[in-house]
Amino acid sequence: MTEEWGAILVVDDDAEMRELVHDVLKDRGHQVSTAGGGEEALKLLAEQDCAVVVTDLRMKGMQGTELLTEIQRLYPDIGVILMTAFGSVDNAVEAMKRGASDYLTKPVKNEELTRVVERVIRETSLRREVSRLRALGIDRKTLYRKLAEIEGKPHPEE
């Protein structure tokens, strides 16, 4: 793995689950930190940069959706992935509408978890790069190409 991977924050009130996600992603070479709830997560985010937050939807204290809202308000460029128990697809869909990057249904296979998380990280990094380029006054063409990469489509001029 290269250092272009941004850091991941795993939020779940279930310690075992938290550690599993941590271990699986860590094995893939990601930089992973964990939090046992929404408040703790926000505290961590205030201290360190992070590309993606993977959070459980139903937790004691702050709910996953509340955390999502807070992150969007404070750090709009961080991708948020919600984990839901099966049977609560409606909640997940609702979360997607409110701006979550993706959702995972428990039980999720490690492979699927990794795939989704890495895709979201990639999107987030690209988006960040676009903003950075734009801030630096980079020409439109480069910008379009980067955007197309996010969308996963080849640029028409290429």
Name the site residues for other proteins (rule: CB under 8 A). 12, 14, 16-17, 20-21, 23-24, 27, 56, 58, 84-88, 105-111, 113
**Nearer CB in complex with other proteins: 31/110:** 110
Query: Shortest approach of other proteins to residue 84 CB, angstroms?
Result: 8
Burial 72-94 (b: 16+ CB within 10 A, else e): eeebeebbbbbbbeeebeebbee
106/145 with CB nearer other proteins:
106
Q: Between residues 4 and 27, which has the closer beta carbon with respect to other proteins?
A: 27
What angle is formed at CA 21 by the lines to CA 15 and CA 23, rounded to 5 degrees? 95
CB of 33: closest distance to other proteins in angstroms? Answer: 18
| Residue closer to other proteins (CB basis): 24 or 130 | 24
In whole angstroms, how close is the CB of 93 to other proteins at the nearest point?
11
Question: Contacts by 132-135 with C-beta closer than 8 Å and gap 24+?
Answer: none
What is the number of alpha carbons within 13 Å of residue 116 lying toward its C-beta? 20
Provide, rounded to whole angstroms, the least separation between the CB of residue 114 and other proteins: 10
